[in-house]
Amino acid sequence: MEFWEYLTLIFSVLIGGGIAFYIKQYNKNVLQMLLSFVGAYIMGITVMHLLPSVYQGHNHYIGLWILAGFFVQIILEILSGGVEHGHVHPSQEPKMGFALQILLGLCVHAFIEGMPLETYDAFQEELHGHEHSHNHQHLLYGIILHKLPAAFVLVFLLTVSKFKRSFVVMSLVIFSLMSPLGAWSAGALVEYGILNPDSTRILLAVVIGSFLHIATTILFETESKSHHHISFKKVLMIVLGLGLAIMTII
């Protein structure tokens, strides 16, 4: 990864969270439309780009790692309370355990999904015998688009839960550093020979499982749970998200 890509990861979170500081109430429908677009894009790059890559090779158990990533994400969302999907369940009073639980779930997830960013191109080169320049950017764009609304909801949730502004800012900064830290850590592990192509494939498989859980949860959540109704606007955002994924891969 290049330096500007690290900065983009950080500032995408800071921008998404920064917007929430100036919004007293948010439009849930607008947020859900944005999440539908993001979920569709993540599903698109996962199915058309990431899955085919990870299944090349001789690891016959790669599907188990994808399932592991799926269920790890379930556990992490128990901690985060579904912030990744736009869920806002404020606390009646500023309880530190409540905030740290949410922050822990988000940060562990962000760290894990950032790890393949630094190793993905090397994995592709090892797999195909030639360089695949900037292939990791599909993953990078998916993480950026996913982090923007997640950071917004994190800040909004902590703000309406009446946490001090300094604590909210500190939480946002910590969250913004997690994916870059994950990428840097994986790069260091490769440099010291601790991670090899098989290990990087496993890392990517875990992230794929996480992406599949996030995308399907977002896409299958409906505005009216009692009638299982999906609006035309949501369908349109899904089509746009998939269309962008297709355009960036072709």
Residue with tokens 């894009």: 41
Residue type, 49: H
For the whole model, what pTM was predicted?
A: 0.88
What is the tens place of the pLDDT at every residue in 26-72? 777 888 889 999 999 999 999 988 898 888 766 778 999 999 999 99
Number of separate helices (H) and strands (E) present in the chain:
9, 0
145 and 42 Cβ atoms separated by less than 8 Å = yes
pLDDT at 226 over 50: no
What is the tens place of the pLDDT at every residue in 94-103? 788 888 999 9
Query: Which of 76-80, 133-137, 188-192, 198-202 has the least mean pLDDT?
Result: 133-137
What's the chain's average pLDDT? Answer: 85
* Cα separation, 241 vs 44, whole angstroms: 8
* Cα separation, 172 vs 14, whole angstroms: 7
The candidate with the shortest Cα–Cα distance to 51, out of 191, 179, 204, is 204
Residue 187 contacts by C-beta under 8 Å, 6 or more apart in sequence? 1, 118, 119
What is the tens place of the pLDDT at every residue in 112-139? 999 998 876 655 555 555 444 445 588 8
pLDDT at 203 over 60: yes
- Residue range 211-238: mean pLDDT, rounded: 77
Q: Which residues of 39-73 are buried (b: 16+ CB within 10 A; e: fewer)?
A: bbbbbbbbbbbbbebbeeeebeebeebbeebbebb
Beta bridge mates, 224: 229
DSSP calls for 15-51: HHHHHHTT-SS--HHHHHHHHHHHHHHHHHHIIIIIH
Beta bridge mates, 229: 224
The candidate with the shortest Cα–Cα distance to 84, out of 64, 63, 54, 112, is 112
